[in-house]
Amino acid sequence: MIENTKVGMIALGCEKNRIDAEVMLAMLENAGCELCADESECDVIIVHTCTFIDKAKEESIENILRAAEEKKSGKCKKLIVTGCLAERYRSDILESIPEVDAILGSKSFDKIIEVIEKAEEEKFEHYEPLCNATPTGARVLTSPNYSVFLKIADGCSNHCTYCVIPSVRGEFMPRPFVDVVSEAEALAANGAVEINLIAQDTTAYPDLCKLIKRIASIETVKWVRILYCRPEEISDELIDLMATEEKLVKYIDVPLQHASEHVLKLMNRSMSDSELSALVNKLRDRIPGVSLRTTFITGFPHESEEDFEILCNFVKTSRFNNLGVFTYSKEEGTKAGRMHGQIDQETKERRADIVMNIQMTLLESINEEFIGKTFDVLCEGYDEEKELYTGRTYFQAPDIDGRVYFPSDDPIEEGTFCKVILNVCDTYDFYGSLCE
């Protein structure tokens, strides 16, 4: 029996991984477990892991080892490892960290109740085939109920040469349309006014525009946002919908990864710098006010100084509203990891710094266009340190972009919208005032 068992979870990685963790938490709660935030008081500790790049893998291992120490010194009787690292390294974890009692692969976390119910001395491993659907169901939200992420698919079939996702999550598998809509309706009924659609490749979802329209038709939903859009799959239909559907925020997160055609081909990404430039111009021409976010990788194998210069020039001319840079992470089991022409870490980091410095010099003029204008801001609470309310506009996605700070003499409830005039920009953040 597991009723009243105190279970704690350390959930790592991306929002897609966090959704899996929230589904697992709901399974535990429904089985009668007590969810516990104090690891020293837990009977069971679950580490829900990520393995996308080296830093994520290191963070996962560090947390497993920390939980193992807790098991030695505290009341914890069972340590369970789930998620992408568990899928990728399987029995290696049990062999190298004997305190771990069970491993569940990325498609197997619905076995969590069975694992906890088994005798404590019995080791347990389970890996569903990656072609199977990821378990879905009710979630225990670990983020505010008014702004939620909704996973519409799992896995990826693009097979970028640097990426381990197909080997740990499987090929692209869309969730059934009716299931996604049903979850959106449940999230809205629970207070969601912003629904952020996510997947490893969101634009690969069949009937994406139909899905967006259906979710936008939910009366209480005010913002629908799409994240992780592959550039090749941004259709004219989607562009037209973003230009005309008021609830679909004019924000596109499109990870381009590079701009040199030479590097893009090595990455198994098909567009050239001229095609990417044409896409950026097309989005801006056809969606007035669109905000563009992207990410790039520096130091990919064989990235020459010429390739890097192409990337720098592309950043200068494209003028992205938000931009992130990762240094290339050599991942075992990937085609890129086996390539000759690997680049040293110092060069990777130097190039990443240069790209970010270019972006920083552009931001003041990029953000200047917002100053003096009024925007709907989703209030996310009161910042005690700044003594100001804080929130986000349509061009600021949760967790990754900047914020808006503003004063108010009257209390403002989290999850409500208010109109704010943006007066000043401080790099990523804006400071404004409420409209009278």
- CATH classification number, 147-365, choose in 3.80.30.20, 3.40.50.300, 3.40.630.30, 3.30.110.40: 3.80.30.20
Query: Which of 149, 133, 136, 134 has its CA nearest to residue 187?
Result: 149
SS3 59: helix
**Contact predicate 45/17, CB 8 Å:** no
Domain spans of the chain, in order of start: 6-126, 147-365, 374-434
Query: What confidence tier does 1 reach under pLDDT thresholds 50, 70, 90?
Result: low
Number of residues written out for the chain: 436
Task: Show the DSSP H helices in 259-344 as ranges.
Answer: 261-266, 273-286, 305-318
Query: Which of 385, 379, 432 has its CA nearest to residue 405?
Result: 432
pLDDT number for residue 181? 97
Identity of residue 81? V
6-126 shares its CATH topology with 147-365:
no
* Cα 53 from Cα 60, distance rounded (Å): 11
Q: What is the pLDDT of residues 30-54, one digit of tens each?
A: 999 999 998 888 999 999 999 878 8
Q: What is the pLDDT of residues 245-267, one digit of tens each?
A: 999 999 999 999 999 999 999 99
Tell me what percent of the residues of the chain surpass a pLDDT of 70.
99
Full-prediction pTM beyond 0.85?
yes
pLDDT number for residue 154? 95
Query: Which of 187, 233, 195 has its CA nearest to residue 212?
Result: 195
Q: β-pairing, 374-383 with 404-406?
A: unpaired
- pLDDT score of 242 more than 60: yes
CATH of domain 6-126: 3.40.50.12160
- pLDDT score of 90 more than 90: no
pLDDT number for residue 94? 86
Q: What is the pLDDT of residues 211-236, one digit of tens each?
A: 999 999 999 999 999 999 999 999 99
Tell me what percent of the residues of the chain surpass a pLDDT of 90.
84
- Helix (H), strand (E) counts: the chain: 13, 19
- pLDDT score of 24 more than 60: yes
Beta strands across the sheet bearing 147-151:
147-151, 194-198, 223-226, 248-253, 291-298, 322-327
Q: 77-90 in b/e burial notation, b at 16+ Cβ within 10 A?
A: ebbbbbbbbbbbbe
Cβ atoms within 10 A of the Cβ of 231, count? 20
Q: State the DSSP code for 385.
A: T
pLDDT number for residue 92? 87
- pLDDT score of 121 more than 70: no
How far CA 245 is from CA of 210, 213, 222, in Å, comes to 12, 8, 11
Q: State the residue for tokens 């003041």.
A: 364
Average pLDDT over residues 181-206: 97
- pLDDT score of 23 more than 60: yes
pLDDT number for residue 40? 87
Name the token pair of 436: 């009278």
Query: Which of 200, 265, 193 has its CA nearest to residue 225?
Result: 193
- pLDDT score of 120 more than 80: no
Query: What confidence tier does 270 reach under pLDDT thresholds 50, 70, 90?
Result: confident
Identity of residue 195? I
**Contact predicate 232/276, CB 8 Å:** no
**Angle of CA points 315, 319, 323, to nearest 5°:** 70
* Cα 399 from Cα 324, distance rounded (Å): 13
CATH of domain 374-434: 2.40.50.140
Query: Which of 374, 405, 360, 401 has its CA nearest to residue 387?
Result: 405
**Contact predicate 397/378, CB 8 Å:** no
Q: What is the pLDDT of residues 381-391, one digit of tens each?
A: 999 999 999 99
Q: What is the pLDDT of residues 283-332, one digit of tens each?
A: 999 999 999 999 999 999 999 999 999 999 999 999 999 999 999 999 98
